[in-house]
Amino acid sequence: MAKMFKKFFKRLLKKHTGFVIFVVVVFVGVFTLFGVATRKSVLVTVAPGATVADVANALKANDLIDSTSSFKLAVRGMGGRIQVGQYEIPRGVSAWRIAKMLVNGDVATVKILIPEGLTLKQIKILLANTDGLTGDVDCAVGAMAPVCSIADGDVFPDTYRVARGTPRLAVLDLARRKMDTVKQNFESRRFPRPLQSWHDVVTLASIVQKETLYTSEMPVVASVYLNRLRADMRLQADPTVVYVLTDGLGDMQGEALLTGHLKLDSPYNTYRNKGLPPGPIANVGRDAIRAVLKPADTNYLFFVADGNGGHKFSNTYEEHLKNHADWREIKNMKK
């Protein structure tokens, strides 16, 4: 079948000599999506400036097609225009299929997972280390685009799939616009007392997000902090201190949080200051936002780790001290 197909295209091509199509191509690199050479795929980069013949010759040189003529004729039969982009082309597929990919713009993509609870600094590090993206993660001095003024809480953690070669700032802006959409979906809801704005909701949600990995616990953790705010108590949330200690990174990188750290002078230190910190300390997902907007109905004022990844909650300080002693015993047993 392959030989018959090849002969068919050769016969047709004889009737269309002199045919020229202006398209886009720059170079072809033999790499997989992650930049490592394999026998399964080839990364082809297409950019403005050349003809279909240039594309065909590059494909032929990398053993992706047997005949440049059949590829050029296939492109012509599909309209004659190849779209700009980077394409991950499997080996062993027909010239017709390759032509269809390039004509339809089926470009190679990069999958980016932004986990919930990362700070903006951590997200920028993640993007900077993601292969297949281009450019810096910070705006040029004086740039006025919305993405240039984002802060923690402005980015929505999610899985994003973008064309290979997409600028890192464009990915960051995509996550910013996604958060704007999430905000529109939640902002009209009634805020629990004493929260007064969306900023307050996301700020508290960021603390909840950092305190527990379990979605089922989030409404209970949110209820503790809301109860403390209503009682005019300090939140005493460790993640806010970590945020200060790490200059906004949000990760102690294996270092312990010590009692002396709780005395740091910062408006973000909820051990020293009543109320919410000035702003979010991380970027939050829908579950943390929902937990704050619809907290559990509890009288809890305290919680401590239970040694199994979750927490023990209590109404009184005496009960909290007992739970804390249990946690210290568990930690000692694990040493």
**DSSP sequence for 275-311:** S--SS-SS---HHHHHHHHS-------EEEE-SSSSE
Average pLDDT rounded to a whole number, residues 62-85: 92
Q: Pick the residue with more confidence: 110 or 307?
A: 110
CA dist 72 to 94, 105, 239, Å? 12, 16, 60
Average pLDDT rounded to a whole number, residues 311-326: 91
> What is the distance in angstroms between the CA of the first residue and the CA of the last residue of the chain?
68
Q: Report the phi/psi class of residue 107: left, alpha or beta, with left for phi > 0 and alpha for psi in -120 to 50.
A: beta
Stretch(es) of the chain classified as CATH 3.30.1490.480: 2-107
Whether this prediction's pTM lies above 0.85 is answered by no
- Containing 110, the helix (H) or strand (E) segment is strand 109-113
**Residues near 333 by beta carbon (within 8 Å), at least 6 away in sequence:** none
DSSP string, 211-262: H-S-GGGHHHHHHHHHHHHHTT-----HHHHHHHHTTT----TTPPPPGGGG
Average pLDDT rounded to a whole number, residues 191-210: 97
Average pLDDT rounded to a whole number, residues 215-226: 98
Q: Is residue 49 scored above 60 in pLDDT? A: yes
Q: Residue 329's pLDDT band (boundaries 50, 70, 90)?
A: confident
What dihedral do alpha carbons 150, 154, 159, 163 form, nearest 10°?
Answer: -30
Average pLDDT rounded to a whole number, residues 297-307: 94
Q: Residue 13's pLDDT band (boundaries 50, 70, 90)?
A: very low
**Rounded to 5 degrees, what are φ and ψ at 41?**
-150, 160
Q: Is residue 90 scored above 80 in pLDDT? A: yes
Q: Is residue 24 scored above 90 in pLDDT? A: no
What single letter denotes the amino acid at residue 90? P
∠ CA 35-38-41, rounded to 5°:
85
According to CATH, what is the number of the domain 2-107? 3.30.1490.480
7-11, 52-56, 78-82, 270-274: the lowest-pLDDT one: 7-11
pLDDT for residue 335: 63
pLDDT for residue 47: 74
pLDDT for residue 14: 46
Per-chain mean pLDDT for the chain: 88
Q: Is residue 279 scored above 80 in pLDDT? A: yes
Q: Which DSSP state fits 22?
A: E
Q: Is residue 192 scored above 80 in pLDDT? A: yes
